[in-house]
Amino acid sequence: MGRKWHAVAALAIAYTVVATVAADDRGHLLAGTVTAPEGRSSLRNVTSLGRTTYHHVWPPMKVGWRVLLGSFIVFFGAAFGSIGGVGGGGIFVPMLTLIIGFDTKSSAAISKCMIMGAALSTVYCNLKLKHPSLDMPLIDYDLALLIQPMLMLGVSIGVICNVIFPDWLVTVLLISLFLVTSTKAFLKGVETWKKETLTKREATKQLEQTSEQWEYTLPPSGADDAASKAPSDEAVSIWKNIYWKEFGLLAFVWIAFLVLQITKDYVATCSTWYWVLNILQIPVSVGVTMYQAVGLAQGKRVISSKANNQTSLKAYQLFVYCSLGLTAGSMGGLLGVGGGIIMGPLFLELGVPPQVSSATSTFAMMFSASMSVVEYYLLKRFPVPYAAFFTIVAFLAAIVGQGVVRKMISWLGRASLIIFVLSFMIFISALSLGGVGTSNMIHKITQHEYLGFENICKYDA
């Protein structure tokens, strides 16, 4: 295990060094008056009639060291991201910006494509799996239905705040949040590791005592049957392992938000219809969440993945869960990252097992990422060849990551590995995104650019 962790640390250091060098190179390009390479559109802010128009940078797709290095980073980022239940956007966006050469907004759009690809393959693998200790699916549909609608509403609020807030404030919030969540996830991993160690010791002692007192007797006829019915990690039929009612409600929220978001992009910012479409998101998300919350409060439904004896949740607990989902979505939309980085530690704090936390956060992330991809595609925010290539790489990498982590958990008997991977991915995202944000902030300071709050009504992306 020591060599594996040394290899992971070496990859992290190498990626940080490459990102730093690339950031320095692009900083010099931005500081000087350099002609854009042939085949690449220019990146600049053009002020016209009091509005700021954004022009995207799309480099031509050529096989070279940039694409190869980017593919390598995407593969490992998607593989580790699928294990920890995070999208990997904290690694994808800096790679696309610093190494491939896309502008920030196009990088975010392509990153959503890769997150969707990795999430789709991960969810497909998880749909066939059962809970590690309970007779229920690995994905907690009741937990997803409670938090996902509020998460998507929070993302919409966060996106508006992202336009208004200055870059330096977003960078400070990003670094602070990621360092706190990665630290809490790491401490949770250490706590889980210690519990697993105690469990393994107790199991070893019981096995030794049983072997000493063993006598050859035929077991009762029902003993083997009871053992055979214990929950396992074996794959089952997808059609029997999906809660279709909850899945349908989540699909309804996805379609409703997608229609509202696409319609909103075709109306003038700050117009009456713009705010009407924004406000219409509230009854959709709150209505579905309240429907689920009432069922949980009355005991008709239960968040079974927590494995507690509580038959129903109190009103204040439901309010806290929904508020955390709204806050997680707002921070995700504000900082431009997927919900997995926020939801993963959140689910762990709620007492959800690591495997269920990773699977459920990826399942919820699939809806938000796919909605963004469809919207970005209709608005032509990313080049299809680049997006398709990196999406396929992420899709395959996530399958490899899921296979490896299941074998390692089965071999070592430690699900805490998922928590450590989650903490690692969040920390690397803090370094990469924080480094890019700090570099851009320093550049704006040296160029004496405006660093205050923006007016959303004068912004046009």
Q: What percent of the chain shows pLDDT beyond 70? A: 79
Q: What is the pLDDT of residue 172?
A: 86
> Per-residue pLDDT averaged across 388-399, rounded?
92
> Per-residue pLDDT averaged across 164-174, rounded?
83
Place of tokens 């205050």: 452
Tens-place pLDDT, residues 408-445: 887 887 888 888 888 888 888 888 888 888 888 888 88
Contact (CB, 8 A) for 90 and 79 = no
Q: Is 354 exposed, middle or buried (0-12, 13-18, 19+ CB in 10 A)?
A: buried
| Mean pLDDT, the chain, whole residue set | 77
CA pair distance 109, 383, nearest whole angstrom: 10
Q: What is the pLDDT of residue 28?
A: 41
> Per-residue pLDDT averaged across 12-23, rounded?
43
Q: What is the pLDDT of residue 276?
A: 94
Contact (CB, 8 A) for 42 and 36 = yes
Tens-place pLDDT, residues 344-379: 887 887 788 888 888 888 888 888 888 888 878 877
Q: What percent of the chain shows pLDDT beyond 90? A: 11
> Per-residue pLDDT averaged across 163-175, rounded?
83
3-state helix, strand and coil shares in percent for the chain, rounded to the nearest 5: 70, 5, 25
Tens-place pLDDT, residues 276-290: 999 999 999 999 999
pTM beyond cutoff 0.85: no
Helices 65-84 & 354-378, crossing angle to 10 degrees? 130
- Range ranked top by mean pLDDT from 179-188, 286-295, 436-445: 286-295
Calculated CA dihedral for residues 452, 169, 324, 416, nearest 10 degrees? 160
User: If we measure between CA atoms, which residue out of 322, 290, 302, 291 comes closest to residue 150?
Assistant: 322
Q: What is the pLDDT of residue 358?
A: 86
> Per-residue pLDDT averaged across 29-53, rounded?
40
> pLDDT: is 17 or 396 the higher one?
396
Q: What is the pLDDT of residue 54?
A: 53
Which structure tokens are listed for 9?
């640390």
DSSP 137: B
Q: What is the pLDDT of residue 277?
A: 92
CA 460 to chain CA mean position, Å: 27
Binned at pLDDT 50, 70 and 90, residue 248 comes out as very high
CA pair distance 126, 399, nearest whole angstrom: 10
Tens-place pLDDT, residues 190-236: 988 988 888 888 878 777 777 655 544 444 444 344 333 444 455 56
Binned at pLDDT 50, 70 and 90, residue 154 comes out as confident
Half-sphere exposure of 410 (CA within 13 A, CB side): 9
User: If we measure between CA atoms, which residue out of 131, 201, 126, 189 comes closest to residue 415?
Assistant: 189
Contact (CB, 8 A) for 351 and 306 = yes
Tens-place pLDDT, residues 91-147: 888 888 888 888 777 888 888 889 889 889 989 888 888 887 777 888 888 888 988
Asked which of 35-39, 116-120, 450-454 is least confident by mean pLDDT, the reply is 35-39
Cβ neighbours for 230, distance < 8 A, ≥ 6 positions apart: none
CA pair distance 333, 327, nearest whole angstrom: 10
Asked which of 47-51, 58-62, 191-195, 232-236 is least confident by mean pLDDT, the reply is 47-51
Q: What is the pLDDT of residue 287?
A: 94
Coil, strand or helix at 265: coil
User: If we measure between CA atoms, which residue out of 372, 381, 423, 442 comes closest to residue 181?
Assistant: 423
CA pair distance 110, 315, nearest whole angstrom: 40
CA pair distance 335, 172, nearest whole angstrom: 10
> pLDDT: is 272 or 43 the higher one?
272
User: If we measure between CA atoms, which residue out of 78, 79, 83, 77 comes closest to residue 357?
Assistant: 83
Q: What are phi and psi of 46, to 5 degrees?
A: -110, 125
Binned at pLDDT 50, 70 and 90, residue 13 comes out as very low
> Per-residue pLDDT averaged across 158-164, rounded?
82
Binned at pLDDT 50, 70 and 90, residue 336 comes out as low
User: If we measure between CA atoms, which residue out of 425, 409, 296 comes closest to residue 354?
Assistant: 409
